[in-house]
Structures are given as structure tokens and as C-alpha cells.
Amino acid sequence: MFRSSNRKDGNVKINWKAVMREEKAHGFGNGIYLRVRDANGLWLFRSKNALMSTATVSLGAFDPSAPDASYDKAQLAAAQCRAWLAEGKDPARELRVKRTVAKDPNALTLDGFYAKLVAQQNWEGDRTKGDWDRLWAHLPAYFRAMQPDAITTEDVLAVLRQDPPLPKDTQYRLRQNLCRVLESSRHMPGGLRERDANPADNSRLKEKLPRRNRNDKHHAALSFELAHQFREDVLADEHMAAPVLAMVVASGVREAVAVLLQWEQLDFATQAWTAPGGNEKSGEPLRVPLSEFMIDILHAQFEKHVATYGRPPLPGEYVFPGKYGASAPMNGSTVRKLMAKWRAAAGVDATVHGLRSTLRDWAGEVGRVREDIAEAMLSHHQKGTRGAYQRGDLFEARRGAASAWDEFTRQPPPKVELGTLNPALTKKADALAALFAGPVRKAA
């Protein structure tokens, strides 16, 4: 280190010009270093953990116009880092939290956005909120104190891979909830910006986290022959969740994608609906072609919104709002309860998710929709060699299939005629049927 013989206030006066001429990391004691590169300086704090590995933390840029004051500031920051180390905290994480909050002190932290999102839900009882709170408690305090615009995918991975490790199912549900909270911060001070990708998106993390234990039990599905009756019953129902069920059966999207539909996701010029990756299971954006039935549903929801609020919808407002206003989505349990009510009245075992299977059965048995198009309608991604070469989303092909499904559900289904039967085989089958019609001989 460069020092002169001049002393000021009992301290050694540093020759800063000489320091800045030599490009290297200059040590100032107590873990403080000034790294000089290209005539610019950066204050660093270096420390060693119990395994004697070195960790380096940036304390900020060197100010050549006031070098002594810049050094004093670095000393205070280093003292704070040593205090955090004594408390068992990570100085790098603590400094990030401090800087993000200082950038906009009035902006909400992740904890604040979580509380805001939970307050908007219309959960009945405390069980669901208790589940969310128990999951949220797994996140460390430093992470919850950060603002969403400062959180990276690496930060999310670090908290999900904590030690001791979380169970796979807990890890999966915590990532889902975190993704929803981060998405709710978009366009807000301290939240995600329009161009920012959600750092908790499944598409960014699915290759780096263990796979969830899958439940192979399938959801009860409605027969496609009853799709017309279901559509008529839903349209006649005045329940607030009826349009959501209509949208699910018309589009084949998952319940969460329909519930979280916002007006800004719709493009009526191209007759398309683009759901963000945070709402979709795959974590990737999903384009859905709008059929005539879906546009009718949206038109009715638009008129209902104008009648309720006296104005057109604003960005960020939901097409299917809950009971707390247009800025909060409907709860999924509300949709499932209406489905259970219809199931009991019709005497048919079916679920909301099973409506996707209804569309898939029609596509394969009656609609004669090509397999890859039918799977794309359900946002199922092709795997293996076919998936490697099929890069597009078959949007225009899906548009034609959606129109055909719309026509099928619009009127009672025609009787499905069997194909032309072989006359010789028919004669033999009739003869066998006659044997069953005769008396049955008892075995000796």
C-alpha cells in the first residue's frame, strides 16, 4: 500500500494517485481491498468461512473526487459485513437486500407482495391460507425482504435447494406460490417489469430441481357426447364461475390459465389469447386461438365489467374477477364447487380438469384431428425426436380444430354411425348371436 510521511488526525495519509496507477487489488487491512482496473477502483471485502474458502463482496465504487471519504465509507461497510459474519449471516445477501430497499424505500418487498396477494383471495376458511403461510415460512428472512425486481433465478434456486432439503412436493408447491407472488408484482414499484422473465418460472427451473412425485390417478372426464348439454347448462347458470367453466370447455386450457386471464392477454385483431408462462404448467407462454364461443363469452364479460364499474377494463384487471373486485382473480375453489354442483344435478362423474380430456376424446374419435394438433390444443409438448423437430405451436392448425369443436358443442351431437361392415362377417356374427339366444346347456 502506498503511504506518505504526512499524518492527518493521527491517520496515515494515503497517496491515492500512486494507488490508482498500479492495477491490482491493494490491501488496506481488516479484509478491505481496492481493486484497480482501467483507472477505475472498486472496494471489496474478503472473508473466509469455516472451510477456509474465500468469499468476496463488493462494497461499492471508489470515488476519486473524495478518496478519503470513499475509504471511510468502505470501512463502515466492511465493519457491517464483519458484524453480519459474527451473527452467522451472509454479507453478500444482506448487502443485496439493503441496496434493493435503498433503491426505492417505498416499494413493497416480496413479503409485502405476498401479503397483498393473500388479502385479495376469497378463500373460505383459514385452511388454504394456513397452507400458503406454512409454505411461505420455508423462505429465509433475507429473501422475503428483497424486492422482486432484484430477485434472480439463482436466488430462487438457492432458497429451494436449502439445507436440510425440502420434500419434493413442498418444493414444487413453494415454487408455484412464489411464481404467483412474483407475477402479481409486475408493473408495480419494486416489482417485475414488462420485459422481465419470472425468475420462478418452471421453464427456468425444471431441469435443475428434482421431479415431483406424480399421482397417476386420472381426473374423471365428461363424455364428449354430453358436451353440448354441459355447455347449455353452464350458459343458463348465473353463477359467477359459470363463464370460467364455459371457457375451459371451449378452449381446453387448464383451470388456472382460465382463472388468471387478464384483458391485456387478449388480442382481438389476431383473435388470439396469450397466457404468460407464469400461469401455465410448462412455464412457457401459451397462445390460444379464440373461437366464436370464446369471443361470445368475452363479450358478455366485457359488458358485465362496464355495467359494474362504469368504464372499460384497465391493464392488470381480470376477465373473471373474484368477489374483491376486478384487480383480483376468482379463486379456483369457486369454479370447482360449481362443477360439483352440476355433477350432482346431472348424475355424471366429471371434474374441471377432466373437461380437457373431453376435448381430447372428441378430437381423436369424432373430430379426426391430427394427433400432434390435438396434443398442442392441450398444451402438451411433444417429446423425443418428434419434439426436437417440431418447433412451432401449430397455432393456425389449432384454430381450425377449435372452430370444429365449437360447432360440435353448439348443437346436440349426431348419432355416431358405424363404418361399413363386412357382409360375410355380419352373417357369422348373427349366427353366433342366435346361439346365445337359444337355451343354455348345463355342463355334465
Give the rounded percent of residues in the chain with a pLDDT score beyond 90.
27
How far, in Å, CA of 92 to CA of 59, rounded?
9
Tell which residue, 352, 127, 172, has the closest CA to residue 259: 352
DSSP letter for 266, please. E
Does 384 fall in a domain?
yes
Q: What is the tally of structural domains in the chain?
A: 3
Same domain, 182 and 321: no
Each residue's pLDDT tens digit, 83-110 = 888 887 778 777 777 766 666 667 888 9
Mean pLDDT across 191-199: 83
Which set of grid coordinates corresponds to residue 6?
Answer: 504526512
Residue scoring higher pLDDT (392 or 156) = 156
pLDDT of residue 386 exceeding 70: no
The residue from 170, 205, 240 where one domain ends is 205
The residue from 59, 89, 119 where one domain ends is 89
Does 103 fall in a domain?
no
pLDDT of residue 10 exceeding 60: no
pLDDT of residue 443 exceeding 60: no
Tell which residue, 261, 258, 262, 244, has the closest CA to residue 315: 262
Same domain, 118 and 266: no
Does 152 fall in a domain?
yes
Residue 60 sits in a domain whose CATH number is: 3.30.160.390
Does 241 fall in a domain?
yes
**What H or E segment, with its residue span, contains residue 78?**
helix 67-86
- Which residue's entry shows cell 413453494? 174
User: For all residues of the chain together, what is the average pLDDT?
Assistant: 83
The residue from 205, 237, 268 where one domain ends is 205
Residue scoring higher pLDDT (128 or 34) = 34
* Enclosing domain of residue 307: 224-410
Same domain, 164 and 131: yes
Same domain, 361 and 401: yes
How far does Cα 256 stand from its chain's mean position? 10
Same domain, 287 and 195: no
Same domain, 200 and 325: no
Same domain, 324 and 293: yes
Q: Terminus-to-terminus CA distance in the chain, angstroms?
A: 111
Tell which residue, 32, 33, 36, 4, has the closest CA to residue 20: 36
Each residue's pLDDT tens digit, 261-294 = 999 999 999 999 999 887 887 778 889 999 999 9
Does 217 fall in a domain?
no
Does 200 fall in a domain?
yes
Q: How many CB atoms lie within 10 A of CB 283?
A: 20
Give the rounded percent of residues in the chain with a pLDDT score beyond 70.
86
Does 16 fall in a domain?
yes
Same domain, 295 and 376: yes
Residue 325 sits in a domain whose CATH number is: 1.10.443.10
Does 149 fall in a domain?
yes
pLDDT for res 1: 46
Tell which residue, 307, 310, 335, has the closest CA to residue 320: 335
Q: What is the pLDDT confidence band of residue 388, given thresholds at 50, 70 and 90?
A: low
Exposure on the CB side of residue 416, measured as CA atoms within 13 A: 7
pLDDT for res 313: 92
Same domain, 371 and 324: yes
Mean pLDDT across 159-165: 82
Same domain, 400 and 300: yes
How far, in Å, CA of 118 to CA of 112, rounded?
10
Same domain, 168 and 242: no
Each residue's pLDDT tens digit, 352-379 = 998 999 999 999 988 889 988 999 888 8
pLDDT for res 389: 60
Same domain, 240 and 275: yes
**What H or E segment, with its residue span, contains residue 397?**
helix 395-410
